[in-house]
Structure 1
């Protein structure tokens, strides 16, 4: 076996369309015609919405333009919504945080370790407590304070950071501010939030203490896309862990922080790897 004399480039194709016969055959044929070697392929037909979803990873010596030229007629014939991504290209990610460091630290550590395919050009916070953590990782820190009187101006400043750094993904890593409906709409499908999975049962302050008082047996976290409906966006990942009466409220908090960090990082990884597709109010995750 000899190496190809032509350099190989890896791509990921994601698509959705009305479910119908022949989609996989047509897509595979177009990729073969473009000289692609398919290295991973997953598909799912939603019985609830009648929508077909597909994610294909491939390598090819063909240029992106040639590959797109082969795929375009197929996409038109089936009425596809589709995108071709450079495999391995890190998603340019803006992280929003407030005072809690655990989720931010997990994201920064995993990114620096090379296990999280994102690039973090900036961190934004409405407080200054996390500036030292950002400095430790060598990432520019933007303090954008938020008050009822400055909320609109603060969101405009946030939009400016997003535009300046060509941000593809916004991650709310325990950012304790509610984004406006307008900004949520602008970020649909590219903003991820994390919260304790007690919502909506334990709303408001000190949710872990509320859970402790009620004697819950499972605690956890939910990572979801941000939408104008508060904490009701399509869910990407959830994790729970069992607890019992011997645990204190403070231990609930500590356990919850660990779960939140893992859950958010996993959701960000799947999004950055183009494994998450939206199916109405829920997600299809090709993990």
Structure 2
């Protein structure tokens, strides 16, 4: 099984490959399974048997879905193979879906954009200067408007235009880029195109979108105009996983700003863009740190 990552507060980015064999490694284990007694005891016991020292642990039992969720950071000198083999028995016993990764591994990420620059600039800046735990392996734009920003940050820019007649071919090209770059996460940083149901299914839980509205209100195009027409007193942004249902995917993070009757549509857009970039950055960070677990149409977020 694969895994993702969390940036530990004590060290620079590391990988399992560049650590000496005798140096303890920090791992992130995430899991979900039907709730029941003995899960935490069993997991902690296996980790202890392999010299593991748990440095962070969070768990949640959902009384509505009947599922149990857990995120553990553990320091252990055991190899991935040893831990995987040991945890496999526990996973089978409790019917777990689980994931293991080295703490500190930046997630290879592909950013998809159109013409709005604020989310792209913010993510690239945070990756470079604020330790956002991703490795942007490329920027894909259906327009060339943001190519210079990608070049400034020394990121490959791929122009993949989209028209009504070439939508399938364009999406196929994006799929090839995902495979070719090894991207494990795709971020729609104000990418103003709808992905196919097949694309959403094939990359379920690995595509994050920012919607410039406080979902479930004001879906689709022009949400700020919709909000202005309704005379809202708060505006917001929602970051969610992408599914085949437009703007209906599991919500990761939301944020709001207060406005009043005097705000114009342009002012709402300006305020909203700041909210969008913050909301998206938090969602991307939490995903990359393995803090987001899917619970049906909902998410469990261990902050």
TM-score, normalising length: structure 1: 0.95
Partner of 2:133: 117
Deviation at 1:285, TM superposition (A): 0.4
The whole-number CA distance in structure 1 between the counterparts of 2:101 and 2:219 is 39
After superposing the two structures, state which structure 1 stretch, 203-212 or 261-270, moved more: 203-212
The whole-number CA distance in structure 2 between the counterparts of 1:50 and 1:213 is 41
Partner of 1:19: 35
Deviation at 1:204, TM superposition (A): 4.9
1:187 aligns with 2:203: yes
After superposing the two structures, state which structure 1 stretch, 173-182 or 193-202, moved more: 193-202
Q: Secondary structure at the match of 1:132?
A: helix
CA contact (8 A) 1:198 1:207 kept: no
Once the two structures are superposed, residues 231-275 of structure 1 have per-residue CA deviations (whole angstroms, 9 ceiling, x without a partner) of: 100000000111112322211111100000000010000000000
Deviation at 1:130, TM superposition (A): 0.2
Partner of 1:69: 85
Once the two structures are superposed, residues 192-217 of structure 1 have per-residue CA deviations (whole angstroms, 9 ceiling, x without a partner) of: 00112255543454321332232210
Deviation at 1:86, TM superposition (A): 1.0
Cα pair distance change 1:199/1:67, threshold 3 Å: closer
The one of 244, 269, 272 equivalent to 1:228 is 244
The one of 96, 121, 127 equivalent to 1:80 is 96
Give 5+ residue unaligned stretches, structure 2: 1-20
Partner of 2:155: 139
Deviation at 1:76, TM superposition (A): 1.3
Instruction: Report how many residues are paired.
Output: 283
Once the two structures are superposed, residues 136-179 of structure 1 have per-residue CA deviations (whole angstroms, 9 ceiling, x without a partner) of: 00000000000111111101100110010111000000000001
CA contact (8 A) 1:33 1:70 kept: no
CA contact (8 A) 2:239 2:253 kept: yes
Deviation at 1:191, TM superposition (A): 0.3
Cα RMSD of the aligned pairs, angstroms, is: 1.3
CA contact (8 A) 1:198 1:220 kept: yes
The whole-number CA distance in structure 1 between the counterparts of 2:298 and 2:29 is 20
Once the two structures are superposed, residues 71-115 of structure 1 have per-residue CA deviations (whole angstroms, 9 ceiling, x without a partner) of: 121111111111111111000000000000001111001001142
Q: Secondary structure at the match of 1:229?
A: coil
Partner of 1:272: 288
Partner of 1:55: 71
The whole-number CA distance in structure 1 between the counterparts of 2:292 and 2:219 is 28
The whole-number CA distance in structure 1 between the counterparts of 2:245 and 2:222 is 22
Partner of 1:128: 144
The whole-number CA distance in structure 1 between the counterparts of 2:80 and 2:166 is 45
CA contact (8 A) 2:213 2:223 kept: no
Q: Secondary structure at the match of 2:85?
A: helix
